[in-house]
Amino acid sequence: MIRPGLAVLAVLVASAAHVVVPAVAVAEPVAAPALSRYTTVTPARVLDTRGGVGAPAGRVGAGGTVTVDLSGRLPVTATAVLLNVTGLAASTSTTITAFQTGTTRPGTAAVNLYTNESRAGSVTVQVGPDRKVDLHNAAGTLDLVADLSGYYATGSGAKYRPTASAELFDVALGAAATRTVDLAARVPAGATAVAVALTAGQTTAPTSVTAWQAGTARPGTSVVTMAARRTVSNLAVVALGADRKLSLFNEAGTIRVIGQLVGYYGADADGAFVPVTPHRALDTTTGQGNDSGVAGPLKAGEYLDVDVTASAPALPILGAVFNLTATQGTGTARISVSQSLGGYTTRTLYAEAARTATTQVFGEFDTWQEIGVVNSGTSGSVHLLGDVTGYFVDTCVGNAGCVFVWGAGVTGQFGDGTSGYRAEPGAIPDFGDVVAVAGGVWENMALRADGTVWVWGYSDAVPGLTAYRPQRGRSRQRPGARVGRHGVVVGPHRLRPDR
């Protein structure tokens, strides 16, 4: 998918050998979506209709909507929340939808339940200035519970970084048992939270599982709620302390819980979040979102390239946040999401034959801005639905002034010590506070907010310059005027605001 800005830049690059242009061409500022960062909170139960927490006590009827007011827990800069929503003792098969209060209810799903079932699912929900969220029950009656894990807001907080998939733990827990897991070998120091794809099964009794920051008091919340002799999936974002450990607690019976690393939030991450209005972007019954456009179920052993970029902002995108539903299965489906060119996968969703199941996914895009999905079941087929709630945007580490680089880089133009070719823009790591950039064929320069000029690449025009990473210019001269924060130059670079 070619972004408008990239197409214009490609014209400039193609023309560079034939025309003379200024070193820096200043563009008119373009409105960009607000970029948000994540803040963990002590997990808190913000809704429980059984006891009147967050709403009047009483079961929610068919077509009923419960409004959860989070204004006392979120700052006015909040843009979205991460909730774990649980439906309890559904009287019939139903779907729970989560959406921003005051907006039109979308045709999306956060949790799917069957008669007499209790089940949980995490979901990211956009919020407005009132910081309220609506939960809607499609059919029958049930109780609703919602637990707050954290929120996105403009300004302060941590960015997100997807990682190669890795198994973090595979533990068996007895009734009322706690297990602490050390993640120090998997996530870096400074990580504030970790995203984990959970698979829970082999249960001997109905139970709930809690996950929380090790060394702190166990909260009265849950990340898994399930019946005996079932297998369920869910995504949990768990806060971490300096020791990078998390704890797991099982309420009843025995259970096996497997956790796979999806990504983490931290000081060295570069993925800011942009929430969007929930919408269906994948539907294999119609071919929507299938790269090939062909309708049809995903058979056991088959791989699907998924394009969910229709509502993505015109910025370099790392990946999408969406709720993935498996339905109409003719065999047990084991759905894995490919996070990078099919090079590694995360076991994401387990769905038994003829049953519908949903889980939240943090999916990383490949070079073509697609996500790979594979059905590793041994028989049958399944239809997939995907409801997008937001995107992770590639930014630089820091607060402002990111330099994005793409195209051919053979003499250090990428600024990160690598060379080759990049089809998509990537930020120069650990290099921010830039207000203007200028690029030649082999060398590049940046003006930072403090007035210093930084250079990288190779050039006879800059004495002694052979640098694969930005270095402070040798000249003591300071520019007399600063260029605005939006600029486009000839060469494979573009400056973007990073809030």
Which of 29, 96, 70, 264 lies closest to 153, judged by CA? 70
The pLDDT-based confidence of 457 (bands split at 50, 70, 90) is: confident
Residue 178 has pLDDT above 70, yes or no: yes
Rounded CA separation 353/231 (Å): 12
Helix (H, G, I), strand (E, B) or coil at 144: strand
Domains of the chain are 31-156 (2.60.120), 158-269 (2.60.120), 276-397 (2.60.120), 403-490 (no CATH)
Residue 476 has pLDDT above 70, yes or no: no
> Per the structure block, which two tokens stand in for 345?
């996968």
Residue 275's contacts (CB-CB under 8 Å, 6 or more residues apart) are: 36, 79, 80, 124, 126, 152, 389, 390
Q: What confidence tens digit (pLDDT) does each residue in 390-433 have?
A: 999 988 655 556 777 777 777 777 777 777 777 666 777 667 77
> Per the structure block, which two tokens stand in for 300?
């056991």
Cβ-contact 352, 136 below 8 angstroms = no
Rounded CA separation 270/161 (Å): 6
Ranges of beta strands (E only) in 174-254 are 178-182, 191-201, 207-213, 224-226, 232-239, 245-250
Rounded CA separation 418/171 (Å): 40
Helix (H, G, I), strand (E, B) or coil at 13: helix
Predicted pLDDT of residue 280 = 96
State the pTM of this model.
0.80
Residue 380's contacts (CB-CB under 8 Å, 6 or more residues apart) are: 299, 300, 329, 330, 331, 332, 333, 353
Rounded CA separation 497/499 (Å): 6
The pLDDT-based confidence of 452 (bands split at 50, 70, 90) is: confident
Predicted pLDDT of residue 4 = 31
Q: Mean pLDDT, to the nearest integer, of 144-160?
A: 97
Residues paired with residue 35 on neighbouring β-strands, in sequence order:
none
Cβ-contact 456, 413 below 8 angstroms = yes
Output the 3-class SS for 15-39.
HCCCCCCCCCEECCCCCCCCCEEEE
Rounded CA separation 230/332 (Å): 12
Rounded CA separation 132/71 (Å): 7
> Per the structure block, which two tokens stand in for 276?
């969007």
Instruction: Please give the C-alpha separations between residue 320 and each of 43, 68, 73, 303, in angstroms, as whole numbers.
Output: 24, 25, 26, 18
Which of 157, 135, 149 lies closest to 77, judged by CA? 157
Cβ-contact 322, 276 below 8 angstroms = no
Predicted pLDDT of residue 491 = 47
Rounded CA separation 453/474 (Å): 9
Residues paired with residue 455 on neighbouring β-strands, in sequence order:
445, 471
Element (H, E) at 9: helix 4-15
Which of 400, 313, 415, 438 lies closest to 26, judged by CA? 438
Weakest-pLDDT range from 39-43, 233-237, 468-472, 480-484 = 480-484
Q: Is the dihedral of CA 108, 262, 292, 10 positive or negative?
A: positive
Radius of gyration of the chain (CA): 24
Rounded CA separation 450/469 (Å): 19
Q: What are phi and psi of 245, to 5 degrees?
A: -120, 150
Rounded CA separation 234/360 (Å): 7
Sheet with strand 111-113: strands edge to edge = 65-69, 132-137, 94-100, 111-113
The pLDDT-based confidence of 434 (bands split at 50, 70, 90) is: confident
Q: What are phi and psi of 81, to 5 degrees?
A: -125, 155
The pLDDT-based confidence of 339 (bands split at 50, 70, 90) is: low
Residues paired with residue 53 on neighbouring β-strands, in sequence order:
48
What mean pLDDT is reported for the chain? 84
Weakest-pLDDT range from 108-122, 126-140, 386-400, 424-438 = 424-438
Helix (H, G, I), strand (E, B) or coil at 394: strand
Rounded CA separation 299/297 (Å): 6
Element (H, E) at 79: strand 78-88
The pLDDT-based confidence of 470 (bands split at 50, 70, 90) is: low
Q: What confidence tens digit (pLDDT) does each residue in 58-87 have?
A: 999 999 999 999 999 999 999 999 999 999
Predicted pLDDT of residue 5 = 30
Give the amino acid at 186.
Answer: R
Q: What confidence tens digit (pLDDT) does each residue in 13-38 have?
A: 222 222 222 222 233 333 468 899 99
Residue 211 has pLDDT above 70, yes or no: yes
Rounded CA separation 43/219 (Å): 6
The pLDDT-based confidence of 456 (bands split at 50, 70, 90) is: confident
Cα-to-chain-centroid distance, residue 461: 43
Predicted pLDDT of residue 12 = 22
Output the 3-class SS for 264-287.
EEECCCCEEEEEEEEEEEEECCCC
Task: Decide: residue 462, CB within 10 A, 0-12 exposed, 13-18 middle, 19+ buried.
Answer: buried
